[in-house]
Chain A
Amino acid sequence: MLEDLYQEVILDHSKRPRNFHHMADATRHVEGYNPLCGDKLKLFVKLDGETVQDISFVGAGCAISTASASLMTETVKGKSRAEAAQMMERFHDLLTTEKPRKADLGKLEVFSGVREFPARVKCATLAWHTLKSALTGAGEVVSTE
């Protein structure tokens, strides 16, 4: 159902993405790119030890990828690297598994409708793949630029 995909929360975050700005003092920034549709986003992360102290993004993408990036930044801010990695796995599960384990992802569960739209799964996971790259980078700025 279209209504399951374009839920109010998703539309809201796509029109008014949160944490949508550059970050001058980011410790890492990574560019995510979906060559299939041309969606691009740039993710900024400020790590304080193991904690994601701050996170933001800029870029142009569809409603699903923009909302996903926006909600992701809200969710992982203040979390540890390990917690973020775990969420990433559960999020991926939520989108791709027939009967996902208890997701326990709070607001992020609005994306469960994406499962019915296989062509759009990559839109929802682009931000998370980019985050993974930012968090597992070898302590340096990881950039495709």
Chain B
Amino acid sequence: MAAVTELGAPTSAQREQFPVLSQRVHGKPLVYLDNAATTQKPQSVIDAMNQFYQSDNSNIHRGVHELSERSTRHYEEARVKLQNFINAGDWREIVFVRGVTEGINLVAYTFGRKHINEGDEIVISAMEHHSNIVPWQILCEEKRALLRIAPINERGELLLDEFESLLNPRTKLVSVVHVSNALGTINPVAEITRVAHRHGVPVFIDGAQAVAHMKVDVQALDCDFYSFSAHKMFGPTGIGVLFGKKDLLNGMPPYQGGGDMIRSVTFAKTTYNDLPYKFEAGTPNIAGTIGMGAAADYINGIGLDRITPYERDLLAYGTRQLERIPGLRIIGTAREKASVLSFVLEGVHPHDVGTILDREGVAVRTGHHCAQPVLEWFGVPATTRASLAFYNTREDIDALVAGIGKVREIFA
């Protein structure tokens, strides 16, 4: 078995770092291919969070005692790790949020409420996750602004010319996904940002599906906002980062009011804290933040320069194997793609595919992947989605293919 090790393939020692992966499900070895929903956590992340609760637990930014100083230090160290992880120019540009959903809502609620007025326009793409649609719809409804949708082609690629033709003096924000969770399309976000900036429009990038698969450099991208969630990069749930350019963040009103986001409070007047604390009201998810920092360390230890080419090769292998299956159609065939193999099987509903694969130990996602509009565009109500992480192997793909064989047998 696995006599030939592909370049960059995970070693068994690396896979063993993920305790969840070593179990059997329904009597079969677990093949975890639902990484776009959430990734598994390495021991180092679990240990970092345990360590916090076992020996350092304390609130941050207030106590003068030893534990509080330790907690504060670890919390702020995590911020710097994540700053470096996406190469932000300043640690104050890293705001901790619950995840990308909150990152988008924060920008909609603060930047959006301040800068978007009646008749203004926001541009998103046709392949957005519901989280990059609904907050803008809420804002547009409130402000009587207009949400405009940049179209895609049949491969699931954004039409850049059409996108640019949507930009006009009323456009106040562009918000696009870096990597589509339903299709795997990698959007040319540097190009998108350049085009938008040429029209004087700031850009928000949803990086949820990108950061575990490719190096992100927000200074090189020159994007105005970038948000990503820990749990999609081997970290815990409920914590993520919103990056924003300092000048923009400074000009934005606070998001939530409460402790830690203020400098001084009187009943007459409250002055707000500096960045990034202005946006971090209340006691934050300290253990989660530390876990997210450990996840960044973990990815750096493996190296995105190794992960990206390996996953590209694995995705190409998976694509080839799936394409050989009669009646199978891959949804999303962009030339630039990462991680995602979304497909429909003739005559079989994705739910039935998912149930049968599960009994074979293969975990995939079925449904609309919180991206109903894009699936509607492709004319399918749902797909089966296998999504890869660096710890997946060709054997995992083979198990998926064998599982689909079983599906076809049952529904023959």
Contacts and interface: CB of A to CB of B under 8 A. Distances in A.
Interface residues of B, number: 18
Contact of B372 (A38, A39, A62, A123): A38
Interface string A107-135: 00000000001011001000000000000
A26 interface: no
B319 interface: no
Interface string A51-68: 000000000111110100
A63 B356 CA distance: 12
B273 interface: no
A38 B356 contact: no
Interface residues of A, number: 20
B410 A62 contact: no
A34 B410 CA distance: 24
Given A36-B367, A62-B349, A62-B351, A11 B381 contact: no
Interface string B344-374: 0001111110011001000000111000100
Contacts of B351: 37, 39, 62, 64, 120, 123
Contacts of A117: 355
Highest count of chain A CB atoms <10 Å: which of B350, B351, B381 = B351
Contacts of A24: none
Interface of B: 347-352, 355-356, 359, 366-368, 372, 375, 381-382, 410-411
19 contacts: A2-B359, A2-B410, A11-B411, A15-B411, A37-B351, A37-B367, A38-B367, A38-B368, A38-B372, A38-B381, A38-B382, A39-B351, A40-B381, A60-B349, A60-B381, A62-B350, A63-B348, A120-B351, A123-B351
Given A2-B355, A38-B372, A38-B382, 13 more contacts: A2-B410, A6-B356, A11-B410, A15-B411, A36-B367, A37-B351, A37-B366, A37-B368, A60-B381, A62-B349, A62-B351, A63-B352, A63-B411
Interface of A: 2, 5-6, 11, 15, 36-40, 60-64, 66, 117, 119-120, 123
